[in-house]
Amino acid sequence: MNINAALAASLERQETAGEEAWATTFRQMALFDLAADMELGFFLSYYRNFAIPSIAAALHTNAEIQQRPMKRSYDTAIVIYELISSGLDSERGKAMVELLNRVHRNVPGSKDDFLYVLLTLLVVPIRWIQRHAWRQPTSSELMAATRFFSELGTRMNITGMPASYAEAAVFFDRYEAANIAPSDHGQHLMDATVQVFQSRLPEPLRPLAKPLISTMLDDDRLTAALGLPRANVISRTALKTGLKLRNAITRRRPLNQQPHFTPGKAGSSLYPDGYSPDQIGPVNVPHSPARVGNELP
Ligand code: HEM
C-alpha cells in the first residue's frame, strides 16, 4: 500500500506500541490515525441501542432524546471524547465518569444491558474500521481500545468485562442475537435522532439520511428494528465507491497535526463559543420512583 510518509511512521508506532501504552495508543487511533471512521462508528453505536426494546423503553421514558436530540447526541460524543482525550483519571476525565455514574444511578437495566452499551462503543467502531477505513486497526490498537473500555467499565462498576477484543465481540453478537427487536419506543428515538445526522450532511444529501444510515449499519434485522428503509445494491455500491475514493485521498495526505477533538473547544453549532464540563449532561436525570404516602425516609 502506497501511503504518505507521516501516516506510515504513525502506523509503525501503532504496530509496535507496548500494552502498557494503551491510553496513548487508543488516543492516537481515535484522535488522529483513524479519527473520521472512529467518529462515524460512535454515531452508529448510538443508534444501535434503540434496537434493544428494554434500553429504548428506558431512554424513551426519560425523554431527553425526544426533547433535546441535538444536545443529547453531541453531549454523549463529548463525554466519550473528553475521556479519550483527557484520560480516564484526569480531572476532566473524572468529572465525566462522575457524570456517567450520576445519570445512570436510577436507570433500569441489567448488568448485560450496561455491558452491551459499553461494548457498542468498542465493537461497532472497530468493525466499521475493519470494513471501511483507509487501513486496518493494528493488534496493539485492538488491545488498547479494549483496555480503554474495560477501564471505563471498571470505573462505572460494571463487572464481567471481557478480557480481549475477541471475547467482547462474542458477547456483543450473542446479546444482539437474543435482544434486537422492533419497538415503537426505538423507532420514535430513531426518528428524533435522524435530524442530528442530517444536520452534518451537505444540504443535497439530507433527504437521504435514513437510507444512508441504513446502508452504513448494513444489517437487515437491525435496520428493520429501527424502522429504517432496507439498504439495496445501489446504496451499498454508492457508499463503497464514496469510501474508496475518500480512502485513496486519505492515504496520500499527511497526518493531521490537530487532534480530531480538543476538550472545551467549539466544535459544533451547539457550543459555538466552546463549553465547560458542567454544561455537559442531560437535563432530565432519571430519579428513583417518588415516595408516596407517609412512609419514613
Ligand atoms: C456503560 C454503558 C453506558 C454508557 C457508556 C452510557 C453513556 C451515556 C452518556 C454519555 C449519557 C449522558 C448523555 C448526556 O450527556 O446527555 C447517558 C445518559 C443516559 N443513559 Fe446511558 N450509557 C450506558 C448505559 C445505559 C443503559 C444500559 C441504559 C438503559 C437501560 C442507559 C440509559 C440512559 C439514560 C436514561 C440516560 C439519561 C439521558 C437520557 O434519557 O437520554 N444508559 N448514557
Task: Give the pTM.
Answer: 0.95
Please, which pLDDT band fits residue 288 given cuts at 50, 70 and 90?
confident
Per residue in 53-67, pLDDT tens? 999 999 999 999 999
Please, which pLDDT band fits residue 19 given cuts at 50, 70 and 90?
very high
Lowest mean pLDDT among 20-29, 49-58, 279-288: 279-288
**Does the beta carbon of 57 sit less than 6 angstroms from any atom of ligand 1?**
no
Residue 275 resides in a domain: no
> 80 Cβ partners below 8 Å, 6+ apart?
42, 121
Per residue in 70-90, pLDDT tens? 999 999 999 999 999 999 999
Q: How far is the CA of 140 from the centre of ligand 1 (A)?
A: 29
Measure the CA–CA gap between 186 and 173, rounded to whole angstroms: 19
Distance, C-alpha 51 to centroid of its chain: 15
Atom of ligand 1 nearest to the CA of 76: 10
| Mutational test site, ligand 1, from 50, 54, 59, 97, max ligand atoms within 8 Å of CB | 59
The pLDDT of residue 289 is: 62
Residue 10 resides in a domain: no
> Residue 291: is its pLDDT beyond 60?
no
Q: Report the b/e string of 180-206 with b at 16+ CB within 10 A.
A: beebebbbbbbebbbebbbeeeeeeee
Contact 73, 49 (CB under 8 A): no
The pLDDT of residue 266 is: 82
* Domains of the chain: total: 1
Here the cell at position 75 is 453531549
> Residue 278: is its pLDDT beyond 60?
yes
Residue 297 resides in a domain: no
> Residue 103: is its pLDDT beyond 90?
yes
**Does the beta carbon of 109 sit less than 6 angstroms from any atom of ligand 1?**
yes
Q: How far is the CA of 201 from the centre of ligand 1 (A)?
A: 25
Per residue in 167-224, pLDDT tens? 999 999 999 999 999 999 999 999 999 989 998 889 998 999 999 999 999 999 999 9
* Average pLDDT value for the chain: 94
> Residue 107: is its pLDDT beyond 50?
yes
Q: How far is the CA of 253 from the centre of ligand 1 (A)?
A: 37
**Does the beta carbon of 69 sit less than 6 angstroms from any atom of ligand 1?**
no
Give the residue, by CA position, lying nearest to ligand 1 atom 35.
59
**Does the beta carbon of 270 sit less than 6 angstroms from any atom of ligand 1?**
no
Among 199, 154, 144, 197, which Cα is nearest to 31's? Answer: 144
> Residue 227: is its pLDDT beyond 90?
yes
The proportion of the chain whose per-residue pLDDT surpasses 90, expressed as a percent, equals 92
Measure the CA–CA gap between 177 and 165, rounded to whole angstroms: 18
**Does the beta carbon of 117 sit less than 6 angstroms from any atom of ligand 1?**
yes
* Nearest-5° Cα angle at 149, 22 to 37: 80
Residue 281 resides in a domain: no
> Residue 116: is its pLDDT beyond 80?
yes
**Does the beta carbon of 75 sit less than 6 angstroms from any atom of ligand 1?**
yes
**Does the beta carbon of 114 sit less than 6 angstroms from any atom of ligand 1?**
yes
Measure the CA–CA gap between 73 and 94, rounded to whole angstroms: 21
The pLDDT of residue 172 is: 98
Q: What share of the chain is helix, strand, coil (3-state, %, to 5)?
A: 70, 0, 30
Q: How far is the CA of 262 from the centre of ligand 1 (A)?
A: 22
The pLDDT of residue 296 is: 46
Residue 251 resides in a domain: yes
Residue 269 resides in a domain: no
Give the residue, by CA position, lying nearest to ligand 1 atom 26.
114
Residue 42: which domain range?
A: 18-261
Q: How far is the CA of 218 from the centre of ligand 1 (A)?
A: 24
**Does the beta carbon of 53 sit less than 6 angstroms from any atom of ligand 1?**
no
Residue 271 resides in a domain: no
Please, which pLDDT band fits residue 287 given cuts at 50, 70 and 90?
confident
User: Residue 65's CB: how many other CB atoms inside 10 A?
Assistant: 25
Q: How far is the CA of 108 from the centre of ligand 1 (A)?
A: 11
> Residue 292: is its pLDDT beyond 80?
no
Q: Mean pLDDT throughout 140-156?
A: 98
Residue 284 resides in a domain: no
